[in-house]
Structures are given as structure tokens and as C-alpha cells.
Structure 1
């Protein structure tokens, strides 16, 4: 475990609400951190935060992680004061009943509970069936529609209330580690590269991208503006180290075994080889994810931005994605930052990106 890992920053990133389209609170933290190390920090009209270090260098490298998380949006309040919502991003409805949530109001966060009919009141044929989102609501303890609307009117953004907490050893659990873990690793890479700036030859653009969970929208616009020659997307990926998961389908991905390097059609083979070489030179453990088609990450759109970008994908192993209790290893985050730092500092203008 690296002594430089700033757990307090990871905690702050996960606690700042950032459902897709409503990422402003976490981007405030990102801007603050980037301003400490980058030459310039800007925010585009889409909400992406873009930090540049040594922008006159070559090649132009874009290092990106998405800052958005899943969320809910209040759409309707009934006469009794119960709030109905629409999902922001890909929720599994079975993970929601009974969850405590935070409604992010103008007056501050308001606690609520996601309710549904208890099993005692269900018909026998209903028991055991998956619930639809329309069968759920949020209970904030209001006694009327008027009271609820005054507290959390339609349009209020909602997140799960789970906070970052330690488990055993180097493991932590919380909401939004997809992709706040990756975002932390990217910010930590910027810090480490800035500390060794005299070795940096590339132009490094660090992007905290918005709206990945609803279609990789932020990375599309930021890559178009930056025009990178190569790019690395940093995200999380499911593991196969828990019950009822097939290694034949997922691959042998485990917590604590290091960052995951993807190889496949959406990854430039030379960028992949450079990542592998950086890991080996640094003596870092890493895992492989052979993915023949789309990766379902920002890498897919990065690859085809403008006239094409030589793209790589580095992922942090994560259990229980898109729940309120995602689990990652702090050691994997540390190794990811160490790998990316070695990769960035090894780049020169002479690097070949042609397959």
C-alpha cells in the first residue's frame, strides 16, 4: 500500500453527489485538486473538467475517468406525500427496496427511504417476483403533498445514502466507486506526474468526464475539443471472485490482484503493449481482460473521436457494481495510479501508435 494514498480525498469524492447531469458538487473538488498541479484548469459547457499539464508537449495524451454516478430524479408527489422517481442510469430495481437515500435539496441533504409493499401484504403469486421501478416510492416522512413539495419538489436529485467505509484489510465499500475509484486514480496520477514534471515529455490532459452512465456523453465532447493522439480511459470492472459468477464469462478478475488491462478491438495494440511494458518495468501486478467487442466504457467513444484516437482501457476491479455497496481494494487503486504515472512519464514524441 502506497503511503501517498489520500483516503480523505476518495471519501470526499464519493460523498459529493454527482448523478449524470448533476455532477457540479464533485467537479468542485476536482477543480480544486487539479488547480494544485496543472498548468490550466477549465470547465466546458457540458460540465467536463479538463486540466492540462505541459500542454506544449508531444504526444497529446488524454487521461480520463467519469465523475458521474447513478441517481434518481423526483418526478411526482402523491396526495399523501410519497415521492415517485425516475432512474438516472442503469439501476437493478431489486437492489432498491428499503434503501436509505439522500434527497439533495436547496436546504441541504434530506433523508428518505425507498418503500414498497411489505411481503406480508403481497399475494402469494407476487412473492419472489422482481419489482419494477414504478412499484417503488420515496418516503421522507411527509404527511401531505404540500409538505413534501416544500421539502423536495419534483426535479430533486437523489442518491443512495451509503458512505465509504472500510471492510477487511485494504477493502472499502460505498456507493459511487464506479467511477470515483477511477477518478481518484487519475487525480493521483496527475499529482505524481506533476511532482516529476522534469521527466514529462507528453502533453497531459486529465479529464473528469460527465454523463458516462447515460451514454458516454462527456467524453465524446471533451475528446473532440482536446484532439488527443492517444487516450486512456480509467473505470471499474466486475470481478469473478464471488459466488454465482462465471470466470468463463467474466475472466479471472479478482480484488487485490492489480489493475485490469483490456485487450481487444476497442484498444489500440501499441497502447496496450506500452501499458504492459510500464507495469513490468514498475514491477506491478496486473490482470488481463480480453474483450473482443465493445467495453461499455468511455473507451468505446474515445477510440472513434474525430479521425481516431489510439485508446487504452485500465480498470479497477469492483464487486457489486451499481449497488449501494460496491467494493474495491485500495491496493488496486494505488497500483493503478503507479502504472499510469509510469506510462505517462515514459511517453515521448517518437512513440509509434500505428498498429
Structure 2
């Protein structure tokens, strides 16, 4: 990964954007992606769309959602503590001791998710995972009046940015799900912008919103774009860690390439084209099965209007939906080149009707 791409990746991960509050993330994405697009737009939901060859009749949509899981303030106690409800799927067992950012009208303020010290717990309490309603965010306020000077009910909360580089090009950060997808669709745009003479189709790279609460951004943007082909780039479960059953998720490791899939939401022609391109270009990839449509933007795009030929490309991810998700930069590079090279093999005459 070159220095410009790495800076963009770190800039994305350095932003906080729970579902419905993605504006700061989208600003970073737009400011970068506009350099590699013929046109860039944003819609009423907050989706950002970079377009190459906007006059082409045959359209390919790429979707990488930029939103992340988070919280929203539901109540402020008399003592000034912030009580929260989840945005997206939250594992409450990993929350105590977390550092967070509260988005206020005047900017982000720091907070921590607290819990009674283990010394003060009974043996039974130590065994329990606290429900969300029994957790709180401490911003250091003296009381409710003091807290209301800087925040209010309805303010969103995210895990604090915490990018960390590990060995073998592996990095850890909150929000890898799915700033990895938003990164890749912009990176594909960057690659294709240098090969426009070979591009026979229109490409609509979309940083979608509100995926974590129901694929909402992909649903509306796909309807507006009306593509013939669509690919979602998201994260997928790595199984190279303790406790993950490979019989359920397959053999998936960080650093061995993006995950391709076979299953009902994968158009067989497009799926085969991705695999053939990977082999021809000597791009590493891994393969897993999808038994039924899952919770990615692929599902929403596949059912748009009269139907779309779809595929899912996943970036292997450890510790999904925690504040220490881990991915490998090599997989991001491989995914970007695989998607770009696949698009260059598609023409308006390519028939995606399964035979």
C-alpha cells in the first residue's frame, strides 16, 4: 500500500461515524475520491457516490458502507452520567473500560464506559455480563446540570479512534467494519481512473450509510443508480484465531487475500468472473460458502428493481464488532486490484443471466 492510500485509510479510521451520523467520515471519503471521479454526488440519506463514465448506459455499482456500530444517549442521570442505547449490534461484554467519543454540537468530547470495580463485586456479579441499561458513560461531569452544558439526549457516541499497527502488515482499529469497504471502493476508483481508455462501463463507487441498522443506504442508492451489476465490499469472519469453528465459517486467514463467496446472493457469472480474474492476475483469494442472503449491502442491491447481478468481496476481519478489530493491509490491496481488474473485463455485452 502506497503512502497516499495508507494516509487515506488512517484518516477514515480516525473518524467516528455510527449509523445515521456518518457526515465526518463521508467528508474524508469525498475529499479523496473526487480526485479520481468524473462526478461526485451525495444524496438525502448521506450516501456519497463517485462516478466514472457517467454517460455509459451499462452501470456497475460498488458499495462499501462507511458507518460503524455505536451508541446514542438515552438519559442523563442526576449525577451527570450518560446512559446509552445501541446503534447496531453491540457485544456488551467488551464495553466496560472502553474509551469513547461523544459527538456534541461543539465537537467531540471524551468519555469512558464505567463499571463497578471487581473488588466490590460479589462472586455472582463477577460472572454476569451487564446489560446495556446498567452501563454508563462518564465524561467527568459534576452533575446533570454540568453534563448538559456540553451534551444532551440524542448525541451519538463512538469508540475512540485507536489505530494500531501489528506485525505482518496487520493493523487493529475500531470501525474496520466497514471502513475497509469504503476504502476499497475509493481505491478501485483510483485504479480505474488511470485506465479509463480500457473502461467500457460506468462505475458508481458508493460509500453507503446505515448498513448496520438495515442496509438502508444501499437500498436507496441502488434504486437511484439502477445498476446492471453490483458488488459489495465488506468485512468477513476470519477463522485463524482461537474459538472460531472452521466448520461454520470456513478456512479464512488474514493476509491470504480477500474472501470470495458462493451462494444464493452471488450471481454465478459474476462470481466465476471474479475467480477467473484472480487466477489470471495471480491475486490471492479465499473462498467460503453463503447458505442464505446475509446482512450485507449485497442483499439490498440484489433485489433492486427487477434484480441485479451481485457479488460480495470480504476483507478477513478478527474480533468483529469490538473496538480492536484486526485486518491486513495486503488483503485491502488485493481486493482493490481484483475488483478493478474484474470491472475491466466487463462490457455492455457481458451476459449475466445464469445458464
TM-score > 0.5, shorter chain as reference:
yes
Q: Choose 110-119 or 234-243, whichever is displaced more.
A: 110-119
Aligned length: 354
Work out whether residues 103 and 157 of structure 1, in 8 Å CA contact, stay in contact via their aligned partners in 2. yes
Q: Distance in 1 between matches of 2:122 and 2:247?
A: 39
Residue in structure 2 matched with residue 52 of structure 1 by the alignment: 51
Work out whether residues 5 and 334 of structure 1, in 8 Å CA contact, stay in contact via their aligned partners in 2. no
Residue in structure 2 matched with residue 246 of structure 1 by the alignment: 245
- Shift in Å at residue 5 of structure 1? 6.2
- In the alignment, is residue 199 of structure 1 matched against residue 169 of structure 2? no
Residue in structure 1 matched with residue 94 of structure 2 by the alignment: 95
Q: Distance in 2 between matches of 1:295 and 1:271?
A: 18
Q: Distance in 2 between matches of 1:290 and 1:92?
A: 25
- In the alignment, is residue 213 of structure 1 matched against residue 221 of structure 2? no
Query: Which consecutive segments of 4 or more residues in structure 1 shift more than 6 A?
Result: none
- Shift in Å at residue 14 of structure 1? 1.1
Equivalent positions of 1:131-280 (< 5 A) are 131-280=130-279
Work out whether residues 111 and 137 of structure 2, in 8 Å CA contact, stay in contact via their aligned partners in 1. yes
- In the alignment, is residue 78 of structure 1 matched against residue 45 of structure 2? no
Q: For the aligned residues, what is the CA RMSD?
A: 1.1
- Shift in Å at residue 122 of structure 1? 2.2
Structure 1: which 5+ runs fail to align? none
Q: Distance in 2 between matches of 1:135 and 1:78?
A: 12
Residue in structure 2 matched with residue 340 of structure 1 by the alignment: 339
Residue in structure 1 matched with residue 348 of structure 2 by the alignment: 349
Work out whether residues 13 and 161 of structure 2, in 8 Å CA contact, stay in contact via their aligned partners in 1. no
Q: Distance in 2 between matches of 1:4 and 1:109?
A: 28
- Shift in Å at residue 118 of structure 1? 2.0
Work out whether residues 8 and 32 of structure 2, in 8 Å CA contact, stay in contact via their aligned partners in 1. no
Equivalent positions of 1:105-124 (< 5 A) are 105-124=104-123
Q: Distance in 2 between matches of 1:26 and 1:207?
A: 13
- Shift in Å at residue 153 of structure 1? 1.4
Work out whether residues 58 and 201 of structure 1, in 8 Å CA contact, stay in contact via their aligned partners in 2. no
- In the alignment, is residue 22 of structure 1 matched against residue 36 of structure 2? no
What TM-score results when the alignment is normalised by the length of structure 1? 0.97
Q: Distance in 1 between matches of 2:291 and 2:4?
A: 34
Q: Distance in 1 between matches of 2:50 and 2:141?
A: 44
The 1:5/1:279 distance shift into structure 2, 3 A limit, reads farther
Work out whether residues 188 and 339 of structure 2, in 8 Å CA contact, stay in contact via their aligned partners in 1. yes
Structure 2: which 5+ runs fail to align? none
Q: Please give the per-residue CA displacement for 1:51-75, whole angstroms capped at 9, x wherever unaligned.
A: 2110222531001100100111111
Q: Please give the per-residue CA displacement for 1:278-301, whole angstroms capped at 9, x wherever unaligned.
A: 111211110001111122211111
- Shift in Å at residue 86 of structure 1? 0.9
Work out whether residues 100 and 112 of structure 1, in 8 Å CA contact, stay in contact via their aligned partners in 2. yes
Residue in structure 1 matched with residue 67 of structure 2 by the alignment: 68
- In the alignment, is residue 31 of structure 1 matched against residue 35 of structure 2? no
Residue in structure 1 matched with residue 41 of structure 2 by the alignment: 42
Q: Distance in 1 between matches of 2:5 and 2:22?
A: 22
What TM-score results when the alignment is normalised by the length of structure 2? 0.97
- Shift in Å at residue 119 of structure 1? 2.0
Give the 3-state SS of the residue equivalent to 1:36 in structure 2: helix
Q: Distance in 2 between matches of 1:185 and 1:100?
A: 28
Q: Distance in 1 between matches of 2:284 and 2:97?
A: 39
Give the 3-state SS of the residue equivalent to 1:79 in structure 2: coil
- Shift in Å at residue 139 of structure 1? 0.5
